[in-house]
Structure 1
Amino acid sequence: MTGNQMEALIGMLVTFGLLVLMVLPSAIGIVRERRIDRQLREAREDRREGERPRPTQKSSDRSTVPSTATWYAEGRRSKKLVSS
């Protein structure tokens, strides 16, 4: 090999090395994203397999305690009735 051929070979290797360094983070990111997607898909499938049909909730099962908003509204209504 002559000196010119050696310089050309070294130049091509350096260029190829820089290209690999530029592409490597993207390739690692793609592999990582695919792994996460696969894990999410498997978890979703496992959840679907483990699901049982839930019984419908009857109105008698619900709590009969009024919420804070209801208490507040009741107090406001009574004040309006008293003042008018």
Structure 2
Amino acid sequence: MTTAQTQGLIGMLTVLGILVLLALPSTVGILRDRRIDRQIREAQEAREASEDQKSSSRSTVPSTATWYAEGRRSKKLVSS
């Protein structure tokens, strides 16, 4: 290997090293964003699953507002 070839190889490796150093932060950022997106998606799916379970196990007892409104309606009908 001649001196010119060695210098060319060293220059090419230097350029590739600089390219890797420049691309590394953005690659790490992309991977981090994908991981966070996956965690958010899993949390939303878990929340939806727990809401589905809650909605099926909710009691059918009317709320206080409904009970109060029904009582007021019946009083109006009786007094009329």
**What TM-score do you get using the length of structure 2 for normalisation?**
0.68
- Root-mean-square deviation (CA, aligned residues, Å) is 2.1
**What TM-score do you get using the length of structure 1 for normalisation?**
0.65
Gaps of 5+ in 2: 69-80
**Percentage identity across paired residues of the two chains:** 50
Cα 1:22/1:42, change in 2 over 3 Å: same
Gaps of 5+ in 1: 63-84
Task: Quote the Cα distance in structure 1 between the aligned partners of 2:67 and 2:42.
Answer: 35
Q: Which amino acid aligns with 2:36?
A: I
Q: How does 1:1-80 map to 2 (within 5 A)?
A: 1-51=1-51, 52-53=54-55, 57-60=63-66
Q: Any idea what the Cα deviations from partners look like across 1:26-82, whole Å, max 9, x if unmatched?
A: 0000000000000000000000001122667452579xxxxxxxxxxxxxxxxxxxx
Larger proportion of helix: 2
